[in-house]
Structure 1
Amino acid sequence: MPYAQSAQLFARGCGVFPDGTTRATVERDPIPRYILKGEGAYLIDVDGQRFLDLNNNFTTLIHGHGFSPALDAVARLLRDGTCFSNPTVHEIDLAELLVDRIPAVEQIRFVNTGTEAVMFAIKAARAFTGRPGVARVEGAYHGSYDWAEAGQGGTPSTWGSPDAPVAVPAYAGTPASVADDVVILRFNDAEGARRRIAAAADRLACILLDPMPSRGGLIPPDPDFIAAVVETARNYGILVVCDEVLNLRQSYRGASARYGIEPDLIAAGKIIGGGFPIGAIGGSRRVMSVFDGSAGRAKLAQGGTFSANPVSMVAGRVSMEALTELAFDRLEELGDRLRAALTAAIDRHRTHHVISGAASLFRIHPKRTLPHDYREVYPLPHETASMKEMTRFFRNEGVILPDGAAGCLSTAMSDADIDKITDVFERFLVTTPVSAGEAR
């Protein structure tokens, strides 16, 4: 049995975890793969199998596994202590790097996760404006804060009409009042965004915007939609919060800069921690002043026992220093090459697939044409089955392609790795030929 050791570990996990694991995002088919170690672009599981990793812990490991400069820096640090109640120089070093690099960030605060970063960005917007409400894009993922997650997982039976999307709660027992303070926008619907923001303007603190939502399909943003959101927000004194926890990896200066957005606040995480837990809220001095308690009680208190811990600060700084403009250019080239090669394979085999994404991100959709928003991305039952078959095929060929076929590249990858991904995809298409003229 190829997963004997993983099966044994999963059986143990089922005795101590409600569903056998401790993260809802862990993928299983039918059980999860337990990992022994990572080496660059590859993973080795407890059964000795080796996989090219297109997940990279949900886009976090932009340098792949075991990035030596970060590991060496952390190893030197460990004997000096891993966390203190006092500040250290390491948090200043990482903060200065991020402030220098990201145009919208003049000041910053560190937390421990992307969820915390988004939560405190929303709280900061509320503290600054004195309003409670949040507008957010349908289907986008922003972590596990009630007001950030309402509307992230709607289905055709729950998401409501196109003109009035519903803030579908993310879990049973969500207070009804959450939906009262969340306005759902459809991605790339410029006029709908203007109308819905204006209608709720008197109670909106912020608009939570992921420039290219991963869960929403990695669909390119329509410039008219971005302009509509930002202009309407400015007209009504609503803050624009860009969630770049995932998409900061889209360029040297991040996704907002890439798409010409000037947000009031940015939530960051993942790549800025060098493989260790981290989150950050950054923005203009004017808005970030809500965290300032130097002259008395701050409008918004933010602590966290492990916030700005030296390990994450050092690993993050070293990893970000290695992400030079040349490094981002190379990732962009690899991404462009992969997306073009996958598209060429689709054209050759005339199948119902289309590729989206940018920079080091890509997604394979079992669709005839590129979706425009979350509702068009949402898979039909036969499409879900097809994608499961694809991820299983990739796994059997030694490539971890996440469920939903949204993958990411790392600086540890080579041209040969790109060729391998393309070759596996082409062989998958050969095993499931579908003429472009056939109906599904």
Structure 2
Amino acid sequence: MSSRSGDLHERAGRVLPGGNTRSTVFVPPHPPYAVSGRGCIVRDADGNEVYDCNNNYTSLLHGHAHPDIIRAASAALTSGTAFGLPTEAEIELAEILSERTGVPLWRFCNSGTEAVTMAIRAARAATGRDRIIRFHGSYHGTGNEVVDPTTAGVPRSVASDVLVLPQGDATALRNAIVEHRDDVAAILIDLMPNRAGLRPVTTEFASLVRHLATDHEIVLIVDEVITFRLGIGGLRSRYGIDADLTTVGKIIGGGFPVGAVGGTPEVLRSFNPTANGRVSWGGTFSANPVSMRAGQTALRLFAHDEMTRLNKLGDLFREELASAGLRVNGAGSLSRLILDDYQAGWWKLYEAGVLVGTNGLLALSTPMQEEDVATIANRVIGAMSSA
């Protein structure tokens, strides 16, 4: 049967490879096409309305078209979208991030991928070393150094500069540090990696990573692009560890493109142009005032009480799913369904009125109230029970 989304996909196939320009949103035979969103509801091109538990892969913390964010972005638009000069807006967002996290210095970019790439460059500049340690199954964007080295298009030489270890394997980490300690610039870790099943690392392992990095003068990069929403200072604040560099994105842009790296003067000194900085890093739209103003509003709206409320709703949501026999991981407002067939599961959930990530990721948003989350839980349980 013909559908508007089907027609759009056929049209897309004439100008986009496979009709796709973003791998993560593709579901065979083709995805529905979004038309509009309001609060926690999305409407597609065929007139279906679904609860949005994808929220553009966790970035839409306040759902769609939040009036305060729209006003902030619109006001910025009327003054100019971007300049070849800095603006006060970037200072203000950096001040908010510094106050929330205790991390003193920040640099902005346009995505989480860029933030991770910038952090790796900073670590190498600060240490004079080349090698990076990261953990299997964690997603850190699309840069060459953080994807599977056997991926088509990735130079074979990348594998020699990146050690990929099992997450949580203390022995493997210690052995790698002993063998390569003079070459390791950074340890890159996501404390609750989505692609690896959204399972939090243990406090013991997080502490070990921090301890080894300190002892061997290795830069510790904590990737909080997804997990920053879980605590005022990010997920790392729950572990009580400090990062030398922190990467964030998604929620700090209020729905607009953004990424950022936070760190200490010692690690970020190479980016200081007034102190013979050795690293030149531009970015035409980095720190654009629209993203900066929208992001400021989004963070101000997400104070401690609202964060606590949303995290509690997420905890109750997972309890409901688990009590119904579903496999689910996560913490706070982030959950991950563990499915045998993600493609089939995605369609069952969508047909039941719930949009999730193509890997089973669900992110709650502040427009959701208890009754919304209860309805979503019932729909998920019903859809998965019919699997």
Interval containing the TM-score (normalised by the shorter chain): over 0.9
State the partner residue of 1:290: 270
Query: Residue 211 in 1 paired to residue 209 in 2?
Result: no
The alpha-carbon deviation at position 316 of structure 1 amounts to: 0.4
Superposition pairs for residues 195-234 of structure 1, below 5 Å? 195-234=175-214
State the partner residue of 2:155: 175
Give the one of 311, 314, 318 matched to 1:339.
318
CA contact under 8 A between 1:241 and 1:267: conserved in structure 2? yes
1:310-335 deviation line (CA, Å, top 9, x unaligned): 00000000111101000100111101
State the partner residue of 2:350: 395
The alpha-carbon deviation at position 416 of structure 1 amounts to: 1.6
Query: Residue 426 in 1 paired to residue 381 in 2?
Result: yes
CA contact under 8 A between 1:190 and 1:226: conserved in structure 2? no
1:119-161 deviation line (CA, Å, top 9, x unaligned): 00000000000001100010100011111223xxxxxxxxxxx
1:382-436 deviation line (CA, Å, top 9, x unaligned): x23xx3332221111111122221111000111122112221233234424xxxx
How far apart, in 1, do the equivalents of 2:243 and 2:196 lie?
Answer: 20
Query: Residue 79 in 1 paired to residue 52 in 2?
Result: no
State the partner residue of 1:437: none
Query: Residue 326 in 1 paired to residue 289 in 2?
Result: no
State the partner residue of 1:89: 88
User: AA paired with 1:130?
Assistant: G
Please give the secondary structure, in 1, of the residue aligned with 2:260. strand
CA contact under 8 A between 1:83 and 1:310: conserved in structure 2? yes
State the partner residue of 2:128: 130
How far apart, in 2, do the equivalents of 1:331 and 1:279 lie?
Answer: 23
How far apart, in 1, do the equivalents of 2:3 and 2:153 lie?
Answer: 38
Give the one of 414, 417, 436 matched to 2:372.
417
Please give the secondary structure, in 1, of the residue aligned with 2:79. coil
Please give the secondary structure, in 2, of the residue aligned with 1:47. coil
Query: Residue 302 in 1 paired to residue 281 in 2?
Result: yes
How far apart, in 1, do the equivalents of 2:356 and 2:286 lie?
Answer: 32
CA contact under 8 A between 2:269 and 2:275: conserved in structure 1? no
The alpha-carbon deviation at position 295 of structure 1 amounts to: 3.7
Seen in structure 2, the aligned counterparts of structure 1 residues 12 and 263 have a Cα distance that, compared at 3 Å, is same
Query: Residue 102 in 1 paired to residue 57 in 2?
Result: no
How far apart, in 1, do the equivalents of 2:82 and 2:206 lie?
Answer: 40
Query: Residue 247 in 1 paired to residue 231 in 2?
Result: no
How far apart, in 2, do the equivalents of 1:400 and 1:77 lie?
Answer: 31
1:302-358 deviation line (CA, Å, top 9, x unaligned): 111111100000000011110100010011110111011111111xxxxxx422100
Superposition pairs for residues 263-278 of structure 1, below 5 Å? 263-278=243-258
User: AA paired with 2:349?
Assistant: F
- Structure 1 stretches of 5 or more lacking a match? 151-167, 347-352, 367-382, 433-440
1:217-242 deviation line (CA, Å, top 9, x unaligned): 11021122112211111111111001
User: AA paired with 2:338?
Assistant: H
How far apart, in 1, do the equivalents of 2:207 and 2:275 lie?
Answer: 38
1:167-217 deviation line (CA, Å, top 9, x unaligned): x43x22422221011111211112221122222111110000111101111
Please give the secondary structure, in 2, of the residue aligned with 1:25. helix
Farther-moved stretch of structure 1 (421-430 vs 29-38): 421-430
State the partner residue of 1:405: 360
User: AA paired with 2:290?
Assistant: V
CA contact under 8 A between 1:60 and 1:271: conserved in structure 2? yes
CA contact under 8 A between 1:211 and 1:259: conserved in structure 2? no
Give the one of 170, 189, 200 matched to 1:190.
170
CA contact under 8 A between 1:110 and 1:307: conserved in structure 2? yes
How far apart, in 2, do the equivalents of 1:278 and 1:73 lie?
Answer: 16
- Structure 2 stretches of 5 or more lacking a match? none
How far apart, in 2, do the equivalents of 1:318 and 1:335 lie?
Answer: 23
User: AA paired with 1:74?
Assistant: A
How many residues are paired up?
387
Runs of 4+ in 1 over 3 A off after TM superposition: none
CA contact under 8 A between 2:197 and 2:336: conserved in structure 1? yes
CA contact under 8 A between 1:194 and 1:228: conserved in structure 2? no
State the partner residue of 1:313: 292
CA RMSD, aligned part only? 1.3
State the partner residue of 1:162: none
- Scaled by the length of structure 2, the TM-score of the pair is 0.97
CA contact under 8 A between 2:25 and 2:358: conserved in structure 1? no
Seen in structure 2, the aligned counterparts of structure 1 residues 342 and 73 have a Cα distance that, compared at 3 Å, is same
State the partner residue of 2:61: 62
Please give the secondary structure, in 2, of the residue aligned with 1:90. helix
Please give the secondary structure, in 2, of the residue aligned with 1:208. strand
1:253-307 deviation line (CA, Å, top 9, x unaligned): 10111222211000111000000001101111211111001143x1211111111
CA contact under 8 A between 2:27 and 2:343: conserved in structure 1? no
